[in-house]
Structure 1
Amino acid sequence: MTQHSGKNWLLISLGIAQAVLLLVLLYSIYQVNAGLADLNRTLTLFMQSGSAGPGNKIKVSLGDELPYMGVKDAKVVMTILSDFECDYCREFAQRILPKLKSEYVDKGKLKIIFKDLPLPMHKNALMAAEAASCAHEQGRFWNMHDYLFANQGKFGLEFFTQWAASAQLDTQKYGQCMAEHRYIKPIENSIIEATSAGIQGTPAIIVNGQLTMGTKPYAYFAQLIDSQLDGGVAQR
């Protein structure tokens, strides 16, 4: 083999290697996109399930990995199933949640847990749920929660990344978390669990198992919590 033909063979080998790497990359992208497509189908499928009525007893998983505020062993547990593009969820987050925090959470009476329920008609809600989960990974969920509800209509990957930088998160880790869609499966599980229980809309507020659909005046939730504090059984 001549020196010239050896160089040609080397170039051909490098070309083949690059082509293989490109195929691997394209396949990886395809797998991620396929996963997202499957999730969108799951969203549509489960949103067709039966609805749960107000006051129904609902049981949802309350793992320690979920974002929460308050003491772990509070007698009353409120679980919020929410969508970051939902107007009523924003109303609850901005008008009701701060009062609940100051009057009950900060006094050790209430634990509030957040669970994702992005609705299929909100095109950026799923991405926002991922963004908040990636922030939670670095201990900044509630900061991101408040920022998202204060900036509905601006969602996008650049928006989330800029927030991560301004919040002094590790932007490399945050970017990897978003690129890998690391929390797609937990979000999907939350959707399936909620919709299997007949919950179709947001916000869905569960207080010691008792379901309330939609936002209500603060006095409604205060009375509900007080009734559980007076005679309810502590949740675990």
Structure 2
Amino acid sequence: MTMPQIEEAYIKTGLVKYVVRDFPLEQIHHDAFKAAEAAHCAGDRGAFWPMHARLFARQTDLTLDELPGHAQMLGLDVAAFRQCLESGKHTVRVHRDLAEGIRAGVNSTPSFFIGVPAADQKMRVVRMVRGAQSFDAFKEIIDGLLARSPS
């Protein structure tokens, strides 16, 4: 898996920041949007990444009826999870992320934007990477940027 290697080499060491945005592809999976909301509802209880990984690994089990079962398997309070999901608490966030992705040219997942800090506290994108890539591919890009960045 590439992400654990990136996390160990770059994120935990403070060399890079990692930000996640939702981009549910409902044309591929009808319930992708609700699944994105479910990950955030789990995140309210400290389990975003476990839920995200679980849903990604079980993409055939994403119906609204099946999502509470995933919460239960993670040891979450199912009633609170269900209430969060039904309330639409994270709907605006997922819509905002999706719109931002479309504006940025995302048309597939995963997509990665690799960049450097800009003066306005934002990121200046240097490279967009589409699709799953090897750790070595990311390492080459990140190390190249770090070598050019002022310390």
Q: TM over 0.5: same fold?
A: yes
2:147 pairs with 1:230:
yes
Instruction: Tell me how far apart the structure 2 counterparts of residues 151 and 197 of structure 1 sit (CA, whole Å).
Output: 28
Q: Report what 2:64 is aligned to.
A: 157
- What is the 5 A alignment of 1:1-236? 95-121=1-27, 122-208=29-115, 209=125, 210-232=127-149
Q: CA, structure 1 residues 120+162, in 2 after alignment: closer, same or farther (shift >3 Å)?
A: closer
Instruction: Tell me how far apart the structure 1 counterparts of residues 76 and 134 of structure 2 sit (CA, whole Å).
Output: 35
1:51-73 C-alpha deviation (Å, 9 max, x unpaired): xxxxxxxxxxxxxxxxxxxxxxx
Instruction: Tell me how far apart the structure 2 counterparts of residues 224 and 199 of structure 1 sit (CA, whole Å).
Output: 19
| Runs ≥4 residues deviating over 3 A | none
SS in 2 for 1:207: strand
- Which structure carries more helix by proportion? 1
Instruction: Tell me how far apart the structure 2 counterparts of residues 227 and 181 of structure 1 sit (CA, whole Å).
Output: 41
Q: Give the deviation of 1:225 after TM superposition.
A: 1.1
Instruction: Tell me how far apart the structure 1 counterparts of residues 7 and 16 of structure 2 sit (CA, whole Å).
Output: 8
Residues 111 and 128 in structure 2, CA contact (< 8 A), matched pair in contact too:
yes
User: What's the RMSD between the two structures over aligned residues?
Assistant: 1.8
Report the count of equivalent residues: 140
Higher relative contact order (CA 8 A, sep 6+): 1
Residues 31 and 64 in structure 2, CA contact (< 8 A), matched pair in contact too:
no
Q: Partner letter of residue 100 of structure 1?
A: I
1:94-135 C-alpha deviation (Å, 9 max, x unpaired): x21122122222322222211100123121211110110111
Unpaired runs of 5+ in structure 1? 1-94
Q: Give the deviation of 1:186 after TM superposition.
A: 1.0
Residues 37 and 90 in structure 2, CA contact (< 8 A), matched pair in contact too:
yes
Instruction: Tell me how far apart the structure 1 counterparts of residues 59 and 36 of structure 2 sit (CA, whole Å).
Output: 13
Q: Report what 1:37 is aligned to.
A: none
SS in 1 for 2:19: strand
Structure with higher Rg: it is 1
SS in 1 for 2:66: helix
Q: Partner letter of residue 167 of structure 1?
A: L
Instruction: Tell me how far apart the structure 2 counterparts of residues 199 and 162 of structure 1 sit (CA, whole Å).
Output: 31
Name the TM-score, length of structure 2 as normaliser: 0.83
